[in-house]
Each structure stands twice: as C-alpha cells, then as structure tokens.
Structure 1
C-alpha cells in the first residue's frame, strides 16, 4: 500500500519473478477528479487546503507527478493565516478544500469570514465522507452569495464496498478506505488460491536484492496472476485494474454539483475511464479576475498670492462617490465606491472581456514616483510588485515609467503640461469699453477716416465723371464735395448742409464701398468682443513663470499634467494593455461616448478663450485695414481709368466732327465738277408774289444727254 509506488522494488520483483501490485490511497480519486475539472476550466493554478497533513502528502505525490497546474498548498488554514493568503500575489485562480463534513464547516466558514469567498465558481469543496448533505450551507440557514462546486463520492460505491445493494443507504460514518482495504485483501487471497489450485508454483524464492549478476527469474507465476486478475475484474462492479501503474483500485464514481442559496444541482459525474461527463449544462471556466489599480489623484496644483492647494481628486477620471452629506459611499464590503471616466472604462472592459475585478487604490493615492533606492511607490510600484494586475488611470506615458511597466496604446491623447486660467474677479470701469481696442488700433481708425475723407475730396475734384466736373451728365443740382464736406461724409455719411448724397463718380463710389466694408467689419468686431471683454481684465504685466502668475493676486491658475484633464476643466468646471479590446472600443467610438459624457460640450461656451483677457490688437485687425487699402487702391485705379476713358472719348468726338466737315466740302466739290461736265444750268426761278415770308424752294433740273459717262 503506497502513494506513489517504488520503482526499485518493482524492478527487483520483476527480476525475481515476484508478483508486484499496488493498492490505492484514500484521496487519490478526488485529486484526479479535481485535476480533470480544473483542466476543463482552463485553470493555471489552484490553492489546496487539506484537513490534515497525511492527505496533503498523498495528494502532492500524485499532483507533482501528473498535474501541470501550479499548486499553492495551504497546510495551516486558520484565521491567522487568512490575511497572508489574501495578500498572496498572484492570488490563486481556484481553491479546493479536502475534508470531512464536520471539518468542512469550519474551514469554509474561515474562508468566508476572511473575505476569500467573493467570486462565482472558484471554490471546490471535496467531501471525503458520505455526509455532505449535512453541510451547513446546504442543510442549514447559512446563505451563500456566490456559487460553489461540491464533489462527493456516489453512494453506490460505498454500498458495493460494504457488499450491499447499490441502492442502499450508506452510513455517514463509514470509512471507505478501510472497507476498500478489507475487500482488497480478500481479492488477493482469492486470486492466490485460484493460482495455487491451477498448479502454478507459489513457492517462496530467495536471492540477493542488490546482486549485479542475478539472472532473470521465471515470471510464469506473475503472468498467471495477471491473467487471472484481469479475468476476475472484467465484470467486477467493485474493483478495477490500472495496468500502467500496476494498481488495483476501487471503482470510484464522483458526483459534481453546484450550490448557490438552494439545494445542490447536478453538474457532472466523474470516473477514471470516462473522466468528466457533463449532465445538463456545459461546465464553463470561472470568470477571470484582475486587481485593477487606479488613483483618485493627479498632478494638479492651484496657486494664488495667498495659498497653494493640492487637489486630491483626478477629475473626471476617478472620483469617489459622495452621499448627500458629502461622505464617501461604501459598498457591502466596506470599500469606497468610485465613479468617473476610468471606472466606466474598466466596467466596459469587464463586460467585453468577461472578467471580474476589484478596484485597488494605493495607500498613498499617488501615481507613483521613483524612490532613492530605485523602487517605485503609488500605482507604478503596485503594478511592478504584482500587487495589481492592470492599472487604468489618468497616467501619462513616460520613458522612465516604461522601464518597469508596460503601456498599452493610449486610449486618450497625451500632450504634456498645460495651463488653465481661472476667471478672476474684475474691477468695474466707466471707460472699460475703450480698452476693447488697443491704442494703435484707435489711431489706425482715425487715420483711416482722415485718409478716406481726403481721398473722397480728391476723387470728386479730379474725376471727370463727378458732379463737379460733368454738368452734362448731372444737369440737375448735385452736391459738390469740398474738403470739409468730404471729412463729414467719411465720418457720418452726411454733409454739414444736411445732404445725404453719395459721390457720383465710379472711383468715389468704389472708395466709399471699401470704406463701408471697413466700418461694418470694425463695428462687428467691436460689438462681438465688447460684451465678453467687459468681464475680463488684462494682466498687468507679461508672465514669464508660474511664480509671476501667482503674484498677481486676482489671477488663479491650474497646472494640469495632461490634456484630458485640461479639457475637463475647460469644458466642465468653467476654467476651474496588452488588451486589444481597447482598439476595438476605439473602433466602436466608445471613448467618444465617454468623452461626451464627462466633457459636456454645452458648457464650453461659458469658458473664456485664451486671448479674452487681451485688447484687440492691430495684428488681429490687420485684414480689415488691408481690405480698406485695397479699396483705396481700386478707387485710384478707377479714377485713372475714368480720366483715360474721358480723354480718349473727347479725342474720338473731335476727330469725328473734323472728318464730317471734310466730307461735306468734298461732296460740294464733286457736285460742282459733275455739274460742269454735264453742262447743267440752273432751273428758272418761278415767279412768286412777294410775300412777307416767301417759301424757300430750290431744285436742280437734270436733262439727260447723250454723252459717255466718265468718272
């Protein structure tokens, strides 16, 4: 009867023709069943808790030689050691307790009180007796908040070992191993009797155990024994033979059930040959579990001339949930409740990747900095030491941090340190509106008005198409612009005599159009900025450092470690890993949804732009003046065009009149020549009575004559 067998003894037995067979240990079937169950659940490690050291040793011999699961053996499971188990890193993915029903009550109660029983499907209770139905969490009033798996021996196994019918009522205090041992001795005696009756030699043999030249003895006796053993156990319902290990064991049938606040539900059955056979539903692995680190703190400082404050809340990434009285809310386990961008992100990851998690906040609530001894504290230190599995926080990627931890692709932009200005308390002023524009802008406006007035007068004086210079085009009375009237028109669009007439020449009108474009743009700019500017005060001097900024007592500022924090303050506070699932969430625009949730864009209008505290400079209005100068240039070009066109037209008119006079003289000369050639005489003048106004009648009588026509 051994737990593992003795290879040296087996070899000696084979050399000397001695029958070598092993008997089974007490917990071996349970260990095999648990190992097969955990392999089916894709487990990588398990914490084993035993009732006594004897069962622990039996199990280790099997598991070390046959299992590939990482083992965490807990040999002293008491209230004093629970805290050590809870602090174990990495924590076991599954737990298994091997004990009788009486001891199981105590051990599982210790696990419950120690806060180890929190997740579904990770606890496996193996009952080594037949009294598991008296377990307090099945038959008592104790309630479970998670599901557990129970493994127990099928009752017909006990009945067969007792030699009773398979449907008997197995006594709860029966010892399976002792019954198995008795039946095993009887089986061996029966086989040896049959062997002797068949004439096979069963005489004792002698020899030297460590003889190097021992000849191979005859194995006829051993072979005959094996043949009879296989034949006898072929239809046996109590024993089975494990030929690879030379083991005679009882036919173990283990039932797997799940329990959660109710009677056990059948899950599967197990035997050595068929392994685990699922019954009604498929066995699924327990959800993966991660300890996710986060921090409610970020690198934020508020400075003023009177105080320096540190913010301890990483808004909106990770913030504690507060009740109506402002106290941090707790969950059922007494842990702080958190909310925010990172918390929602973790929850979404857990849903997408199907895992459970605990939020772990470092004791110092820091992101982490490198200490003098080369170690790290805060979130970075917890992750580097294995206290946490993942960190989800408003953590900036740096090369120094990448030396000890790995970063996934950023799920939010990283753009360094930013400064956010808080809206200060402003001093009222009767002439505040005058500071909307810089002094140079006001001077430029006055210059533009002066230049426009002069140019209106010049264009009206020299344009050939103005009312002053073209009476034929404007025969009705029109205003002639003097220099004084030109200035008034540029200032008010009316002349001092009350006339509202605009200049008539195209060049003047071009200049007026450009001038009014300038006026409209200036008025629009001034009006749009006046309302906001009346509530904003310019800084008294340029800021070269944060300390200079702090010294201006009414100016507060915030240094933010990353742009996400900056955007939150600007939009919400009125200026106050290895997980590829992240890439899928980016593709599904999940982070845009989170951003719209925590960065309310509708409130952004309440924040001031970065240049709201500055008057409008000449540079910012340079385009308006350029447009005006362009109109002035266009007016001058138009004036030149008018003068050129006017002069050209006058020249053409004179040439036409001169040409017309020449044509009349030429016609008269031709008629005279023609008349001389035709020898025409004037027609006789008829007699008219002399009247006061005699009719003016004249005609030429042409008589045809025969003569050749010549030019």
Structure 2
C-alpha cells in the first residue's frame, strides 16, 4: 500500500511524497525534512490513517498542516450512522477491491465496532468462511461500485448467504445506483445505502436535477475543490502581508513567531471557508465531503426509501416509515429424539423441526425477542467424548458453532465440564419398558374352541348312542311303561325314537331331560348318561372360564426385576445409547462391589463374625440383564426396537428405552403397553456455552413458563392418547365382549330362525292335508247301519271309573269297537267332524 503526502512549495507548486505503510515514521520525517530545505507553504496529509509525527513536526516549525480524506470512507458515514441506528455492534464487510479493505480498517480502527471482518472479494471460498463465522455478525456489507455490487449480490444469493436478508447492506461508492437491478432483491428486506446524486451535480456545478456522469470520481473532484480553496487562502494571506514560505532546518529547528502567526491565520481562514462551504466539512481535524444519502429497503415489489442521511443532521427516518433494529439471532442445536424433536414435511415438500423442544424454542424466542435457526450436528447425536474431544450437540456448543441447545440433552457432570446447563430443568425422563400386548385370536364362536373337534364328535356320538339305547331298552324291556300297562295304567311317557333323541338332547340343559324311563334298566342307563352330562358340562364350563380369563390376562411381567428373572421374554436396547451405558455402568458397579466384598471376606480373620451371612448380599441382577441384552443383539435405533416389539405378536419381546419416547409410541400404537415404573430418572435442561450471558434470561423465562403451565400443555399435546380412539377397548376391568360370546347369540338366532322355518312348513303341510280331505267323498249311513248302532248303544252299560291324571273307563266293550271309535279329526278342528245333531239323528 502506498500513500501520498503533498507538500506545497511557494503556494503554487506541489511536491508529492509517496510512502508505504510498512515504512517507519522516522523515515517519513526524514523525507519531509529533505524537502523542507526548500521554501514550503503547507503540508497536506492525504494518507489514510494520518501521520501524527508529521503533524507534530509541522506545528513545531510553524507550517500549516491539514489532513484530507480521499478514501472510500467518504461514503462510509452513511453506513456508520445506519448501523448505530440499528444498534449493531459488529459487521462483516466485503469490498470490491483491495485498497478499500485497508482504508476501512484505518477508518474503523478506533470505532465502537466490537468485531470487524473485512474481505477484498466474494467468492466460494469467502462464502464458506462467512458461513462459519460465529457468532453470526449483526450486519453484512457489500461495498463497491454499482456494477461490482450487482455481481457480488448475485454471488451471495447463489451461495445462500442472505438467509438473514434484513442484515445485508449494499453501500454504493459511486452515483450510478439507479442502474442497479433492484429485481435482485426479490422482495427481501435487503438495505441499499446510496449517495445523493445532487452532490455530484453540485461538484460539477450542474443545474438540478442532473444525471451524474459515469466518469465522475468524487475523490478527485473533492481534492480539486480543496486545492482551489487553499489557493484562495494563500492569496488572502499574501494580500495581508503574511510570509507563506520559509526555509526550515529540521534538526534543532524552532518555529519563529512569523511562521506561527501565519499558521494560525491559515487555520482561521480555513475554518471560515469550511463553515461557508456546502460541500466540505471538518470532522476531527480531517476535511471530508459533506455527504448526503438515502437508505432503501427491499419490499415485495422493489425497494422504498425509508430514511435519509446528512453529515450535519445525521440519519432521519422519513414520516410514516419504520426502521427495525437488528434482532438477536441464535443458532440452536437440536437432534432427532421423538417426541422431543423430529422432522416433518409440509405441504410443499419442505422439512421442518417439530416436537416438544421445537415448540419450547419457538416460545422462548417469542418471550426473549430473538430469531433463530435449528442446527443439527454434522457428527454424532447428543454428544460423545472421543480422545478428549466432544462431538454432537455438546461438541458444537463447546466449539461455538451453536449458541444454545434445546433438545433432549441429559444433564451430566462430564458435560458440565465443557458447557453450562441452565437451571431449572424443563422436563424429567428416565428408562422404561415397552412390550406388545399378546395377540389373542378372537372368534364369535369362541365357546366352540373350548373343546377339540374330536371331543365334540364324541359328545354327539354319545348322545346318538344313548338315544338309540333308551329307545331299544324301552321297547323291549318287559317292565317299561309301554309293555306293562297293568302297572302303569295312567298315561306315561312313551320313548319312541324321536322322544329318545329329545330326552338325550334336553338332558344337557339345566332343566333336565324330563320324565325318565320306568324300567330299571332304562333308569340305570339314564343315570350313567346323566353322570356323563354333568362331567361334560363341568369340564366345558371350567375350560370356557379359563379361556376367557387368559384372553383378559395382564402382561406377564410388571417390572425390570421380573423381566430379569424370566427367560421366555427377550429384551434389548439401542447400542451405545444412554440406556445401554446405564446397564453397562450398573454391571460395572455390581462387579466392583462384588470384588470389594470378596476382598473383605477373604482377608477377614476367622473370628470376624461381621461377614458371616447365610444369604449372598450382592445380587447379580445387572449382569444377567446385560448378558440377556447382548444375547438379543442391541438394535441400531429406536425404530428397529419398536419394529421388533411389533413383530412379536405373542408379547414375548421387550424394548428398554427412554421413557418419554416409549410413552409417545404407546400413545400412537394400540398394540403397545408400558411395563412397570420408570427407573433411572434424569433431567433435561437447556445448554449454553460456558459463561454465556443468556443463562439468567433463559432461566427467568423457564420459570415464567412453568408458572403458566406451558410445559404441562406440551405434555398433553405430545403424549395425548386420543390418537388411540379407534383402538378396541381391552380394559381388563370390563366384562366379556361380543367378540368372544357373539356366537352364542348367533346360535340362538339360528334356532329361532329354524323354528320359524319349521312353522312355515307345518302350516303348508296342514293346508295341503286339509285340501286333500275335502276332496274325499262323504260316507252315507244306511238303515242297516242305524239299526246296528242303536242296538250297540243299548248294550253299553256304565262302568267303574278310576282316578288318575285323567278320567278314563277301565274296560271297553270290545264289540264293534271299531264302530264306537270317534271319527278322526285334524287339529284344531275338522270340517268333517261329526256334530251332536248328526249323532242324535243317527241314534234315532
């Protein structure tokens, strides 16, 4: 970098000294002194930082010294004022040339900007570096000429740097900003900082409005105006008889009174010129252009001017316009952990984070008024320590890649060595067990499955054989009611083949089969059959109760201890997870205690009674659990664990995992059930970088949310069992459902339907029979038949009557019995029935 010091000789000739920023100030002083052997009038310092040694030296020898700003910093006051208005403490600037970088560094060297990042160009390499800057700067500035800014903005858009568009600023260092393609803003709130074109017109003495030539260079025109004013001052000094040149010897030089008076008079006249000039102003002893400009912000259509800048007034917001301050932006670490934080896809196919922690982060941002983005770790999950270095969420916080972490991150002592956890914790979780509810095949005819098919067939066979045997015994036994009328004169049950089958069938009912046979052999047969029926009914009832009880039986294990004591149900965990480490650590603790106990007992004296025990004091539970887990092979992720549980329809597989994720899975799956109580509980808390200033604010916000029951609402949202509303109700406390006993009702309905069909058959049969009888010829009784009937009536004498179930003559006159029998009728009435009138006529 080379800069220039202009030394004016006899007020009209200029000698220029070019120096390098790397040279020592003493070397610069010697170069000036070599020129001072001639008569000089003034020293004009046009270097970027200004050289204090030359300024002090000129004051010593009484030579006027002025400093003039000819750098890109002429335009920077617009940006500086805008950044202050938006409370920006740091900025990253990308320039279109190398010289602008050094000029900005010297301009902001003593500024209030806490952090400056300045680059001379924007390419893919610089873009990658800007993406990795932590924390993200409050503002990004593209500085340069109009045509260069257009190319730089396109590059920034292509590299995806403008995701925080309101932080991006374009500072134009020329007056051709009207040629800028504002469609590149594309509705984003990007800020355009432009110089007022009237400045160009005034420097060129053109009538307003005017179009500034593209060849116009503000720095050169400004130097020209300043030079003209200096010449005018020297002419005034000459007219007032001031000595404007002098011979000065550097070594041991002492200013004389005339030189000092000339210098004072020069600065007084220069002050008057600056005060009356509308293009020049003095700022900290440096002559600069009186800059004016505008601030434009992109909107949905193009851009709009929201504020104006003037060197004398500063930044002024236009009426009706608003400039929002820069909102704090944080990068929040997050990783996949259902239901705490997981990704979903919206209607347009874009993925977004949702879940308990995602909602918590949005609420926290709303309360603390900041913007954020979720950042997923590129390596690892929550964080593991390898060779002394952390990865995952913890590693990103430690390295500063993220500002805080809101996810299912467990508070542990080793993590607190590198990051800070914010009290209080927002939730507590632990380890739980999930199993599938045993699949019980339901059937409407469940009661039929109580006995095997061969048993049912045997029962049917026994019924048929018994019915046939009863009929056979009642038919051929001499002591049956049908063969022993003298012993059983009253009506008795006649065991025909049909009646025997009916008796055998109804014996299975609580009412019983009815009147048994009268013979001893028949009753013996029925007694044996009834014993068979009682035993079969008892067996059926017991088996049916057992089947229905098993169907409603609860999960076979109710705790981790019960799970470890059995061998039928396999169980596993996620390999390398916190749950897996928990069992490994418990196994290690168990082994350590065993080793210590063994050393104590083996080294104890024979008379030491403290170690004389009858029950081993150390249980090997954790060792057995870890062995069973390893035998079942740990799964790579939670999805695989839940899949294995689903596949084991008999409920003989368990998955041990984080209780919150298990509760979420149970709330979404009708087949899952949580077993036992939660164990190994641990807190989840917000994590920040060590010494972060956000701790107190976040802690107060969490306390407020706890008071407002915000976290309870989140629990109800993500662990809501209403998603299982369509599941079958299998509550063990409720009664038996139709799924198991519906077949009984179906059988009853089938019987009713069969009865109705039988009734229809009976009616049809009756009608056909009646029509057939109506077609038969009526029998005419002759005179001979009448005489015979009268004689028989006279022969009938009253007989002795016995009392039974009904009145009936004991003896009949067998003579002409056929004739005395009543005419057959069809129930209920027959049209051919003989009436009383007919009979009376027949008798007469």
Cα separation, 2, equivalents of 1:13 and 1:537: 98
The aligned counterpart of 2:102 is: 57
Residues in 2 aligned to 1:323 and 1:241: alpha-carbon distance in whole angstroms: 58
Deviation digits for residues 405-450 of structure 1, max 9, x if unmatched?
A: 11123553325333334323469999x99xxxxxxxxxxxxxxxxx
Match of 2:325 in 1: 285
Other structure's SS at 2:155 match: helix
Deviation of 1:215 (Å): 7.6
Aligned to 1:318: 341
Q: Provide the residue aligned with 2:382 in structure 1.
A: 367
Q: TM-score, normalised on structure 2?
A: 0.53
Within the candidate set 46, 64, 72, 1:19 is matched to 64
Deviations, residues 107-165 of structure 1 (Å, cap 9, x unaligned): 111110000011231011011111112111x1xx5452521111111112111211233
Which SS does the other structure have where 1:416 is aligned? strand
Deviations along 1:277-305, one digit per CA (max 9) or x if unpaired, are: 22233422233222211111xxxxxxxxx
Inter-partner Cα distance in structure 2 for 1:532 and 1:597: 35
Residues 409-424 of structure 1: pairs in structure 2 closer than 5 A? 409-424=423-438
Quote how far apart the aligned CAs of 1:537 are. Answer: 5.0
2:188 is aligned with 1:146: yes
Q: Deviations over 1:55-94 (max 9, x none)?
A: 1111110101223331011223113331222123333221
Render the CA deviation track for 1:654-695: whole Å, top value 9, x for unaligned: xxxxxxxxxxxxxxxxxxxxxxxxxxxxxxxxxxxxxxxxxx
- CA separation in 2, counterparts of 1:38 and 1:611? 69
Q: How far did residue 560 of structure 1 move?
A: 2.5
1:399 aligned to 2:444?
no
The correspondence for 2:364, drawn from 338, 343, 349, is: 349
CA distance in 1, matches of 2:53, 2:68: 17
CA displacement, residues 519-576 of structure 1 (integer Å, 9 cap, x when unaligned)? xxxxxxxx9xx87972435359835454558879843223233x43343344444536
Q: What is the aligned partner in structure 2 of residue 225 from structure 1?
A: 266
Q: Is 2:710 the counterpart of 1:590?
A: yes
Q: TM-score, structure 1 length as denominator?
A: 0.62
Match of residue 249, structure 2, among 185, 189, 207: 207
SS of the equivalent of 1:269 reads strand
The equivalent of 1:488 in structure 2 is none
CA contact (8 A) 2:426 2:702 kept: no
Superposed displacement of residue 358, structure 1:
2.0
1:156 has 2:198 as partner: yes
Q: What RMSD over aligned residues (CA atoms) do the two structures have, in Å?
A: 3.4
Following the alignment from structure 2 to structure 1, what is the Cα–Cα distance between the partners of residues 394 and 274?
Answer: 62
1:123 aligns with 2:168: yes
After the TM superposition, which residues 458-477 of structure 1 pair with which residues of structure 2 at under 5 Å, given as runs? none
SS in 1 for 2:282: strand
8 Å CA contact 1:130–1:173 kept in 2: the answer is no
Gaps of 5+ in 2: 1-45, 451-544, 567-620, 633-647, 674-685, 687-694, 734-844
Q: Given the superposition, is the C-alpha separation of residues 406 and 341 from structure 1 closer, same or farther in structure 2, using an over 3 Å criterion?
A: same
8 A contact 1:570–1:607 mirrored in 2: no
The separation in 2 between residues aligned to 1:221 and 1:185, in whole angstroms, is 18
Gaps of 5+ in 1: 297-313, 434-526, 613-711
Q: Of the candidates 255, 260, 263, which is equivalent to residue 299 of structure 2?
A: 260
Aligned position for 2:660: 564
Question: What secondary structure does 1:256 align onto?
Answer: strand
Provide closer, same or farther for how the CA distance between residues 424 and 387 of structure 1 changes in structure 2, counting only shifts above 3 A: farther
* 1:537–1:194 Cα change, 3 Å: closer
Distance across 2 between alignment mates of 1:32 and 1:89: 26
SS of 2:428 mapped into structure 1: coil
Distance 1:180 1:124 in 2: 26
1:192 aligns with 2:206: no
Q: What is the rounded CA distance, in whole Å, between the counterparts of 1:344 and 1:31 in structure 2?
A: 42
What is the DSSP-based 3-state SS (H/G/I as helix, E as strand, rest coil) of the residue aligned with 1:231?
A: helix
- Structure 1: distance between partners of 2:423 and 2:724: 28
CA distance in 1, matches of 2:549, 2:317: 75
In the alignment, what sits opposite 2:275? 234
Name the structure 2 match of 1:378: 392
Residues 193 and 538 of structure 1: is their aligned pair in 2 closer, same or farther, counting only changes over 3 Å?
same
Alignment of 1:408 with 2:505, yes or no, is: no
Cα separation, 2, equivalents of 1:49 and 1:318: 37
Answer with 271-280 or 574-583: which moved more.
574-583
The question of whether the paired residues in 2 share the 8 Å contact of 1:154 and 1:254 is answered with yes
2:373 corresponds to which of 350, 355, 358: 358
Aligned counterparts of 2:411 and 2:440: Cα–Cα separation in 1: 39
Cα distance in 1 between the residues matched to 2:441 and 2:208 = 97
Bigger drift between 266-275 and 598-607 goes to 598-607
Q: Which whole-Å CA distance do the structure 1 matches of 2:254 and 2:273 have between them?
A: 37
Where does 1:644-683 land on structure 2 (aligned, <5 Å)?
none
Which residue is 1:538 aligned to?
A: 556
> 1:405 & 1:591 partners in 2: Cα distance?
24
Report if the CA contact (8 A) 1:15-1:217 is conserved.
Answer: no
Q: Is the 8 A contact 2:92 2:116 kept in 1?
A: yes
Shift of 1:190: 0.7
CA offset at residue 6 of structure 1? Answer: 0.9
State the 1:586 CA deviation: 2.1
SS at match of 1:407: strand
Give the Å deviation of 1:222: 1.0
The aligned residue for residue 697 of structure 1 is: none
Equivalent pair of 1:16/1:218 in contact (CA under 8 Å): yes
How far does residue 219 in structure 1 lie from its aligned partner after superposition? 1.3
**Does the 8 Å contact 1:43/1:69 carry over to 2?**
no
Secondary structure class of the residue paired with 2:165: coil
Q: Is the 8 A contact 1:291 1:358 kept in 2?
A: yes
Length, aligned pairs only: 485
Tell me which of 261, 276, 286 is aligned to 2:315: 276
Task: Please tell me whether the aligned partners of residues 33 and 254 of structure 1 are also in contact (alpha carbons under 8 angstroms).
Answer: yes
What stretches of structure 1 move > 6 A for 4+ residues in a row? 212-217, 427-430, 530-533, 549-553, 603-612
- Note closer, same or farther for the CA distance 1:202–1:133 as it changes in structure 2 (3 Å cut): same
- Measured after TM superposition, the shift of residue 218 of structure 1 is 4.5
Deviations 1:469-509 (A, max 9, x none): xxxxxxxxxxxxxxxxxxxxxxxxxxxxxxxxxxxxxxxxx
| Matching residue of 1:169 | 211
